[in-house]
Amino acid sequence: MSVAKATNTMLRVILLRVGQALATAALLASLCFAFVHMLPGDLALRVAAARVGDERVTPETADRIRREEGLDRPLIVQYGQWMKSLARGDLGRSLLSGKPVVQELAYHGAFTLQLGLIGWLLSYLIALPLGVFAGFRPGGIVDRATDVLAVTLASLPTFLVGIGLVTLFALTLRWLPPAGFRTSAHMVLPAVTLALSLVAFSIPIIRNAVLEVRAAFFMTYARVKGLSPPAAFRHHGIRNAAIPVVTFAALQFAFVIDGFVVIETLFNYPGLGELLVKALIARDVPVIMGAGLVIGFSFAIVSLTADLLRLWLDPRALEAVRV
């Protein structure tokens, strides 16, 4: 395949996938709209309770909010209005705070992205050396130890890992603050909690990828050709082992970008997950739909990036792409 043809194919793949991502995101947001309205209970009353507080809410407050926010209009009209605004790039305003949804999502999204990125990178700083080492010495002590570690971490609920870390490092040793988001010290415990929950699944993937590549015929050939095992792995192993790992890592990153409610709640961290849960409790429809749209789109973009990275690492796969 010529370079020009390959670039052309890539561009078409990207355009098609971005289009698909947009459509999926809009569909997801529409489903959010439908589901929120299908929930039992008076939506305006829930919004009112979230706004003025449980004890101050009265049927009159609910009626005022219903009127002011146009929640008394037929659902199809409300949905149509939302779609029309969306076409102009306007996601509307939060029923709770009155702020533009875009502003809410950007604020909380930035926090989630920051912690997510740190936690995700940290997880690979831990998982890569351990996984590679375990893959080099299958059945060895490191392999068995990381296996136990991965199984333990995978079976422990995240909040338990978080509480354990808080108890040890914040409450007993007093090295780190137990909650908050203002300084880098505040980021350590939530990032480690997140990293540990990701490591549980990435270590076995890395280990198996390394193991598989090392057993591959081309590695034997490289060794026969006279390369030392580390040199053979450097030249021919890393890139091949990276293919499944990159795909998995991207998927894990996609999972963290929509927030991690348990960690955010435990550490009082104003991320996207917390925003979404509160929006669901308050039935803040514009925020729920906006979050659905943005999360759906980001998920698709991350997955597209993963595919592109895979094509870049393994250009042979480009031959198989049919657009």
Partner 1 sequence: MIHKLALTRRSALALAVCAATLAGFPSLVQAQEAGVLRVASPWEYTSNEPTDTGFLMTRMQIAETLVMVEPDGRLVGGIAESWSVSDDKLTWRFKIRPGVLFHDGTPVTTEAAAASLRRSLSGESMQQIPVDQLTTDGDTLVLKTKTPFSHLPAVLVDYASVVLAPASWGADGKVSKVIGTGPFRITAIDGKNVIELARFDGYWGEKPKVARARHTAIPNGDTRTNVAVAGDQDIIFTTVPSATPRIDAAGQMKVVNLTIPRLRVMAFNSGLPQFSDVRVRRAISMAIDRKGIASAVLRHPGSAATQLLPAALPDWHDATLSAYAFDVAGANALLDQAGWTRGADGVRTKDGVRLAATLLTISNRPELTVMGTAMQAQLKAIGMELNVEPGPSAAIPAAIQAGTMQMTMFARTYVNVPEVVATIIPDFTRERSTWGTLNWPGRARIKALSDEYVQSFDESRKASLRREMLKIIHEEMPVTAVSWFEHTVAVNKRVKGLVIDPFEMRYMLHKVTLD
Contact footprint for partner 1 (CB under 8 A): 41-42, 45-46, 48-61, 64, 96-99, 107-108, 114, 117-118, 121, 166, 170-171, 174, 177-187, 238-239, 265-268, 270, 281, 312-313
Least Å distance, CB 30 to partner 1, is 25
Contact in structure between 233 and 214 (CB atoms under 8 Å): yes
Least Å distance, CB 266 to partner 1, is 6
* Closer residue to partner 1 in complex, CB, 56/137: 56
* Closer residue to partner 1 in complex, CB, 119/296: 119
- What is the C-alpha separation between 288 and 196, in angstroms, rounded? 29
* Closer residue to partner 1 in complex, CB, 102/238: 238
* Closer residue to partner 1 in complex, CB, 20/167: 167
Least Å distance, CB 24 to partner 1, is 26
**CA 282 vs CA 41, 92, 108, 163, 236: distances in Å:** 12, 16, 17, 27, 54
Least Å distance, CB 79 to partner 1, is 23
Least Å distance, CB 1 to partner 1, is 15
Q: What are phi and psi of 34, to 5 degrees?
A: -65, -45
* Closer residue to partner 1 in complex, CB, 54/89: 54
Least Å distance, CB 274 to partner 1, is 9
* Closer residue to partner 1 in complex, CB, 27/171: 171
